[in-house]
Structure 1
């Protein structure tokens, strides 16, 4: 465009001048036209900065004015690194004569919208929104509509909290022994699972796990802030490769996990029964549902793709579903194995790495599950399990700046805590205090979970002479 309007407000004009002065003070070279702007109104002349360091303030912040910051690069990889070296990510433009290169670069840029050889193109059919501190969520497109919708069952669901009471009330036994005889006879304390390894908790404390009859059925490690930090580091290290893996590869690994879990179905059913006292038949059904859920997301892994929008230009807009990154999740108390699998599987299937807090009261099925992960070709760090107090650990995840999203399924006070703790770092949250029937596929699996595990990037591609 050759026309330039006024700045939106005096306070913004002042902000632009401050940033320009700061850029000059930090060593960048400023270029402005010789003519002057109108003296009436809030105008600022078009400004170009060269010789800018990547760490300069003007290269890091959103100026929101007619100021262009120029930095040179030698390789496409270096250009991506420069573009992503900012806490913001609203929109970007890629300019090149090579469309193959443009389509390679666009998905790598951490921005919600990428225009190729164009800029500032909008349409209601294609969502618009940012990454990182530019905010999350989308306006327009199908993805924008989901922000205003709820599942049919949710308004009628009771609040989480009655699960423990019902489990305790229906779990009385005549004796203190588990109904199955396949549990290991040797006492052991399960460790945390971080970076593909079983590790002892930092504080060396343990938490006793009592069964439905009050007898101790095991102990787990008491994770703390340092354990969460180590798990997040391991998850980030794994995500650099896992996020780029093909959907076919992720599907094959999820199928493998399901097969290995099926081979130990009786053992897991016995563990669930010993903890919850739901009975052999109900425990068996939970394991079967967990296996089915893994198969479901294995099937989704290479099929949850994007869309091509018919936008009003001579071209198209590609909507790509991208993994969020590292997701921290607090799993529900009810159905300790199925609830765990129902959250971890969709996140992993779509290319995320996970730091999971299993059921606080019934964590042993999740700690048994990591031995299945160890034998199923899951890359180290893709799934990390930290046991302990749900509220304390979830708060650490919500406050952690390197966790891109937090899922919390629990009581309403926990939801409030996670929302407040994550506000300062603009973290995505998916919280539910409604009690779900995890055995019901309408509530426990499907596109709702896949949408929460991905973010949509719209790439606008004009074509023609």
Structure 2
């Protein structure tokens, strides 16, 4: 609601959504069962819970955990509910869980009426049970089982929320591997609910895009010194249901030079060149107004195909070592250097730049690739000192699939800069070139195909900016959108990307007077690009 209410006001909004989140409490067979059960009782049934917990137990220790839960819960009393109407919701959740085969562990029978309810463990519920997907406000703890370590991690990632997780195991290697694989902002190993203001506290998935604590949290209140001031304006009148639905204008002006047949380009999806799903094209005009080429008129289906290709390769690309990702970017830079002349001619023919200026933009693009390749293994978190006993790891992670709607200014340099920043951190990107100058991006496809970058990590789809922006915003898998375009487009994204929640990096080209100076990027801009390409995770490891 907040994102939609402030859409178009020029105020960036970050959300931290903890209420109603479901967090996994995972007990592996290598855990100290007594300590783990004590942790369950302490965190799952306390009065002021910021989140709901689901208990995931490995099958080999299921009986031991259930037996200890019964002993530890004996003598516990009914706890007050937050509101009188919550009792009806709790009764309905328990009844539905029992109908689906769950058994109950309760220290005492629930009272016949009143806003209180005893702590209750729902044993043997399925991951699809409503008490797991949309937990009730009462003291209910779903208890699920898993066989292997991988199944336990999958179960922990089942929730649409990604606030926190608690892992219990004496195997440090397993703990670190599981912590790395869980899509949550905080992971507590053999502990729970540990906080420190010096470390970032963030949510993943539907748990928000806000970072609290640490210097990472402070960056949310900063902008690069080279950036223009934020526009302060009232929202424009935008029909969100019709934004991006108008057909692209594919008109060939009269008087165009027909002596030479314009070239028809293909877009790039999943490592292959292809036509758009619609089969139609739009004309690309030279500075003088002549038809220079035709490019595909992409749409929602093309975005869907690109995202499907991206999600197949992005997990593997993210798991590659920073050195391996750097080598791929070095390969991309070397390939672009070999095609330097062709890229300069393409820039010259469409943008009207002189050959010297076009060649300089290609040279700067090559330098950007080398720069981000060198940054791959240097942009990382650390082990900051904390007052509690133990250690904590602050880890930047890839977002996933990022949609990038490119600016009109410096069409090659801006594309390469944003592509390199996102890919260097382990993301996959779906790029929408400038409708005004799409040819440099389409020529760059040959560079991508000649490099060793895995197919699907980068897709390039041409077409109407509004149409493709609308398709990116409505795709649930895309985790972030970087947008250069109109004020109406910025407002549409702020309104639409509230559900499912996406991280947004918005730039109104009209307000920014043509955009950033890509030829002379300020160090603070490079810092911002890196921070926009990652999300943070904190892993707590106690020593005692």
TM-score, normalised on structure 1? 0.89
Q: Shift of the alpha carbon at 1:187?
A: 4.7
Q: Find out whether 1:308 has 2:388 as its counterpart.
A: no
Rounded to whole Å, the distance in 1 between the matches of 2:227 and 2:353 is: 25
1:79 corresponds to which of 113, 133, 152: 152
Aligned length: 440
CA contact (8 A) 1:223 1:386 kept: yes
Rounded to whole Å, the distance in 1 between the matches of 2:137 and 2:166 is: 16
Rounded to whole Å, the distance in 1 between the matches of 2:293 and 2:359 is: 20
Q: Shift of the alpha carbon at 1:388?
A: 0.4
Rounded to whole Å, the distance in 1 between the matches of 2:374 and 2:138 is: 47
Q: RMSD of the alignment, in Å?
A: 2.3
CA distance 1:158–1:314, shift in 2 (3 Å): closer
The equivalent residue for 2:14 is: none
Rounded to whole Å, the distance in 1 between the matches of 2:46 and 2:144 is: 24
Rounded to whole Å, the distance in 1 between the matches of 2:428 and 2:376 is: 14
Q: Shift of the alpha carbon at 1:223?
A: 0.3
Q: Secondary structure at the match of 2:477?
A: coil
Rounded to whole Å, the distance in 2 between the matches of 1:147 and 1:192 is: 35
Rounded to whole Å, the distance in 1 between the matches of 2:465 and 2:494 is: 15
- CA deviations on 1:218-259 (whole Å, 9 max, x unpaired) are 111000111111111011111121111111111000001001
Task: Within 5 Å, give how 1:40-439 maps onto structure 2.
Answer: 42-63=115-136, 65-156=138-229, 187-433=262-508, 434=512, 435-439=515-519
Where does the alignment leave 5 or more consecutive residues of structure 1 unmatched? 160-175, 178-184
The equivalent residue for 2:529 is: 449
The equivalent residue for 2:70 is: none
CA distance 1:110–1:158, shift in 2 (3 Å): closer
TM-score, normalised on structure 2? 0.77
The equivalent residue for 1:22 is: 96
Rounded to whole Å, the distance in 1 between the matches of 2:190 and 2:454 is: 38
Rounded to whole Å, the distance in 1 between the matches of 2:424 and 2:445 is: 17
- CA deviations on 1:245-285 (whole Å, 9 max, x unpaired) are 11111100000100110111121111111111121222111
Rounded to whole Å, the distance in 2 between the matches of 1:410 and 1:302 is: 32
CA distance 1:248–1:14, shift in 2 (3 Å): farther
CA distance 1:157–1:287, shift in 2 (3 Å): farther
Q: Shift of the alpha carbon at 1:306?
A: 0.9
CA distance 1:337–1:445, shift in 2 (3 Å): farther
